Amino acid sequence: MIEKCRALWQVLSLKLVLLSSLSACTTILILHTFTMALQLDSSNPANLVQGAVWFSVAFVGFVLVQLVFQRSVIRLTETTIKTVRLDILDAVRHARLQMIEQFGQERILSAIAYDANTLSQLNQFVALSVGHLFTVIAALIYMFVIAPLGALLALGLIALAVTAYCLRFGRIHQGYERAREAEDSFFTHLHDLLMGIREVKQNALRNDSLYEQHLSRDASAVQHNKIMAECRFAHNQLMLMAALYLLAAVAVFVAPLWFALSPQQSISFVIITLFMVSPFHSSMELFRVLSQLQVSQHKLAEIKQLASEAGEQGVASSAVSFTQQLTLQKLMFEYDQGFTVGPINLEVNQGDIVFISGGNGSGKTTFMRLLSGLYAPQSGQVWLDNRPLEAAQLLAYRQLFSGISADSVVFANRYGQPMGEAQINQWLDKLALSDKVQFRDGRFTNTRLSTGQLKRLAMVQALMEERPILVLDEFAANIDPQSRQVFYRQWLPTLKEMGKTLFVITHDEAYFDCCDSHYLMRDGQLHPYPTQPLSLVKSH
């Protein structure tokens, strides 16, 4: 219960509490004008005029307060979803790359798409339910004024029903938690379906298994747990509403026998009791809503905390320069599974073309991520122009690099890259893409291209960044022989003439003469490439 109160307080503001109180007061004032009018002599016009005046005042106040209240709730809802999404995305974009890789894109997307939206909707419902709760409280206070004995009976019955409600609510909360876990699993398998749609369609067994044994199972688990939770909640709500109707029945059929209430008090008591049914029903929705709110908040807080704990320190605008030499000294990185890359020792002059070769799993990609600052080294030192790189300069150091890998994403939008539109279109023409795509109004006109064309477009994107160092991971793989020859014999020399320093992962032996230096990655160690043929397969 304490956690639910904390969750409620995080949603509400003092302004909403005050508006809820004012709304409840104007509602009770309207109710009071009706109950008083029913007890006055209707044959006297003065009584009717007086009642109508009070009703008009209460009605205008109610409308004005509700207008402000509804706008505040809408603003709260939209502000919440914006704030939550941007907070998570800001934490994610500043988190270390290996944390994002380990956590999984699908869990982040699930939180942003599902939990943030759920949180905003629930916030709106919480605010409305709190308004109804204040109305119930005001109605009980009013009931104490006109029929104290009946109010005590009502308060006792409501307290008993609410206690039973709370005792039964634990299983409802468990149902929502299980449903949310099933949602995570569903999004994971949905990610597999969408990202691997070609492989799924190619293999009927995989297709059927993914859909029937995973997606359908997860969807059924979400359905089952939500149905169970909602049904239990509906039973609780029915119990509360039944308690109020029984209370009205007592006032009508039992109280007159005991002479506990006068006829006028009975009428007012029944009107107030029946009036409370709807707001009391809505206010008790708070328990269900706060339970869902806790589940979503927990998921969002978990992601934000992990991303924040894995946040990178440093400023991208810190001054670093590379005009002469890049040196890696005893650079090391170790995975949790135990595989270690390093210690790496390497000296590269500005404008060099460096080839890296090695078998699968030898550590080439990890080395490239270390080299380009995407992974922070666990030990060792990077030197730029004979100056040691400080830990706080890692983000600035990363800005020296542009990279292209097998899974690189080509963005249609410019996203702040400095190269001018005319120069971008010149590169599109040089790379034989101008007949397929143009750059206009800050974006590429087409990114639905063949594999080879996308690689060339990725090269244009990398050049748009105007960075001094290019990292090309298997760029020439899966392209036709003529394009491969153009890449090695024309593009690399052109980029070198532009002053670019190039690190190229390659296994194309026919073009090993196109580099200034060549290294072999083997079992996480970087060696000068041997002059004699050597197997690239890991030796264990």
Mean pLDDT of 47-57: 78
Per-residue 3-state assignment (H helix, E strand, C coil) for 54-103: HHHHHHHHHHHHHHHHHHHHHHHHHHHHHHHHHHHHHHHHCECHHHHHHH
DSSP 392: G
Specify the 3-state DSSP secondary structure of 439.
strand
Order the strands of the 469-473 sheet from edge to edge. 401-404, 469-473, 501-505, 353-358, 517-522, 525-528
Statement: residue 500 has pLDDT above 80: yes
- Tell how strand 501-505 and strand 353-358 pair up: parallel
- Report percent pLDDT > 70 for the chain: 76
pLDDT band at 353 (very low <50, low <70, confident <90, very high): very high
Counting beta carbons within 10 angstroms of the beta carbon of residue 53, is it exposed (0 to 12), middle (13 to 18) or buried (19 or more)?
A: exposed
Give dist(CA 37, CA 52) in Å, integer. Answer: 9
Q: Bigger pLDDT: 517 or 173?
A: 517
Residue among 196, 246, 271, 230 at smallest CA distance from 30: 271
Q: Which of 20-34, 319-333, 440-454 has the lowest mean pLDDT?
A: 20-34
pTM equals 0.60
Q: Which of 165-174, 184-193, 242-251, 313-322 has the lowest mean pLDDT?
A: 313-322
Name beta bridge partners: 357: 520
Residue among 182, 188, 181 at smallest CA distance from 210: 188
CATH number of the structural domain 325-400+467-528: 3.40.50.300
Spatial contact of 156 and 48, defined as CB atoms under 8 Å apart: no
pLDDT confidence of residue 318? 60
How does pLDDT run across 373-417, given as a tens digit for each residue?
888 888 888 888 888 888 878 888 888 888 888 777 777 877 777
How does pLDDT run across 92-121, given as a tens digit for each residue?
776 777 666 666 666 676 666 666 666 655
pLDDT confidence of residue 503? 92
How does pLDDT run across 455-490, given as a tens digit for each residue?
888 888 888 888 899 998 888 877 788 888 888 898
Nearest 5°: CA angle at 248, between 245 and 251?
155
Give dist(CA 54, CA 70) in Å, integer. Answer: 24
Statement: residue 491 has pLDDT above 80: yes
Spatial contact of 350 and 324, defined as CB atoms under 8 Å apart: yes
Residues 348, 349, 351, 354, Cα dihedral to 10°: -20
Statement: residue 12 has pLDDT above 60: no
The domain segmentation of the chain, as residue ranges, is: 2-174+237-309, 325-400+467-528
Architecture in CATH of 2-174+237-309: Up-down Bundle (1.20)
Statement: residue 307 has pLDDT above 60: no
